[in-house]
Each structure stands twice: as structure tokens, then as C-alpha cells.
Amino acid sequence: MKSMSLQSEQPILFQGPWVTLKVGTPKSPYFTRECFENLKLVIELTKAEKKFKAIVLEGEGRYFSAGASRQALLKSRPNTSILHYAGEVPQLLMAAPVPTIAVMKGHAVGGGFILGLLCDIPLMAEESLYGVNFMALGFSPGMGSTFILEEAIGAPFARRLLLTGALVKGREFKKAGGPLSATVCARADLDSQVTQILAALEDIPRDVLETYKHALRKKREQLLRKALDDERVMQYQIFSKPQTIPHIERHYPVSKKDDFKKDRT
């Protein structure tokens, strides 16, 4: 395995015909601008290098990705960088020429959960917590979440998560029986699941993968773009209001440990 550390601390790993990007580490569990740039680089690399068959996103430690940091959100204003690059993530992943796999062993929160769901194959652990806390923190949803959540888990469950900000264990998604239920397994079994998927993809010609990805992108892109346009309007309105940042400051835990003090669903 060859390791190359690029922007910040999210390493890019090359192993056989796939590329792995760590989108969260124990030191930096958040989805940062640097992580976005690394993701962008991986997409461009797989476009240029035809030997690659898949892109794998994974975390390290307790988190797959904790989404935007408290500091980044407190600096947010209309048209500021975090809202801009977070809004670009969905279309960036749609543009990947090969299948994308999110290995969400650890907790995935807010934009971190949406990042995983935007991948072609999201994999979740029964024991980990997942949810979208945009509205609970005091601002409107983003990153295409108003579309991608309904696609993944169905409209009623998606609205519940968006409106309440509840963090739900993977086993609850499995019990719910929606489209996402088939992607959940015990954390200890996730590595074998990934190995099986990658082994299957390795045998498929690259041009076949690209053709399917193109068709898949066309199918999802129109609805996703509409959701992103609507979300940008909502976020511009919300972040233009003077009460938004103070509300986030009061409701976003200073320490990520505070996220899990209460029992979750």
C-alpha cells in the first residue's frame, strides 16, 4: 500500500485498483476545506487514471465524519466558504467516474452523514449513530440532504430526522426496512463486506463501470440539483439573519463528547 499525505491530515491511500480517502481522523473528525480539496483531487485522479475501479471514503476512530466544525459554522455567513464548498460536494461525488463507497464504521453526523449517503454504496454499522442536525443547530438543511435522505430512507423517516436532529443507531435504520436497511451490518463485519464489494468491482471492465455511473448520474442529477438550488436559497436567508450565529453558538456542543451524553434513539 502506498500512502500520500496531501492537504491537512486526511491521507489518500492507494491499494490495487481503488483509492481510499480518510474523511475523518481522531484529531480532525470534521469535514474541512482541506478534506474537500482532497476529495476533489481523488475524483480528478480517478478520471485521469483508468486503472482505478472504485473510491472508498472512510473515517478513523469514533467518527466517519462529524460534518462541519463548530468554529466553521460560527464563521459562516451568506456566500462564505463552508456553505460554498459543502454545496459542491454532491455534484463532485456525482462526477466520480467510478463507484463510490462510504464505509461508515463510526458515527456520521450532519454533513458527514450526507457525505456517506451521497456515495453509490453507503455502508453503516449497527452500533454507530447517524443523523442530520442542521435544524437542531438552528439553520436550514444543505448538501442536498432534502433529496438524498428521502431517497435513502423514505420521506417520513427523512423528515423526522431533519426536523428533530435525532441521532439514530444503525440497527434502527435496519429495523425500519427502507432502502438503507440492506447496507447496515455489525461493525465487525464491515471490512469483509467492503472486501467482497471491491473484489466484485475489480472484475468489471472500467468502461462498463463508467457507462453505468453516467446513467446513474443522469438519473439522480436533476433532482439533486433542484434540491441544492432550493437549499442555497434557504441557507442564504437563514444565515443573513443576525440571530442565526448566536443560536448555533448556544446549541453546538463545545466538545464532541457532549453530543453523546444523552441516550439516543
Q: Span 128-150, mean pLDDT?
A: 96
Domain assignment present for residue 215? The answer is: no
Q: Which of 124, 116, 118 is nearest to 168 (CA)?
A: 124
pLDDT tens per residue, range 194-239: 999 999 999 999 999 999 999 999 989 889 999 999 999 999 999 9
Domain assignment present for residue 216? The answer is: no
Domain assignment present for residue 42? The answer is: yes
Other C-beta atoms closer than 10 Å to the C-beta of 207 total: 9
Grid cell digits, residue 35 = 478534506
The residue count of the chain comes to 265
Question: Is it the case that residue 1 has pLDDT exceeding 90?
Answer: no
Please tell me the predicted confidence (pLDDT) of residue 42: 96
Domain around 174 = 2-188+202-207+237-260
Distance CA 111, CA 145 (A): 8
Distance CA 24, CA 63 (A): 7
Average model confidence (pLDDT) for the chain?
Answer: 89
Please tell me the predicted confidence (pLDDT) of residue 3: 41
Ramachandran sector of residue 143 (left: φ over 0; alpha: ψ -120 to 50; beta: rest): left
Q: What residue type is assigned to position 167 of the chain? A: L
CB contact set of 199 (below 8 Å; sequence gap of 6+): none
pTM of the model: 0.90
Q: What are phi and psi of 153, to 5 degrees?
A: -130, 0
Domain assignment present for residue 224? The answer is: no
pLDDT tens per residue, range 67-117: 999 998 988 776 665 667 788 899 999 999 999 999 999 999 999 999 999
**How many separate domains does the chain show?**
1
Q: Which of 44, 45, 5 is nearest to 27 (CA)?
A: 5
Q: Span 240-262, mean pLDDT?
A: 78
Alpha carbon distance, N-terminus to C-terminus of the chain = 39
Burial class (CB in 10 A: 0-12, 13-18, 19+), 168: buried
Domain assignment present for residue 182? The answer is: yes
Domain assignment present for residue 106? The answer is: yes
Domain assignment present for residue 253? The answer is: yes
Domain assignment present for residue 222? The answer is: no
Q: Are strands 18-22 and 63-65 parallel, antiparallel or unpaired?
A: unpaired
Confidence of residue 265 (pLDDT cuts 50, 70, 90): very low
CATH code assigned at 252: 3.90.226.10
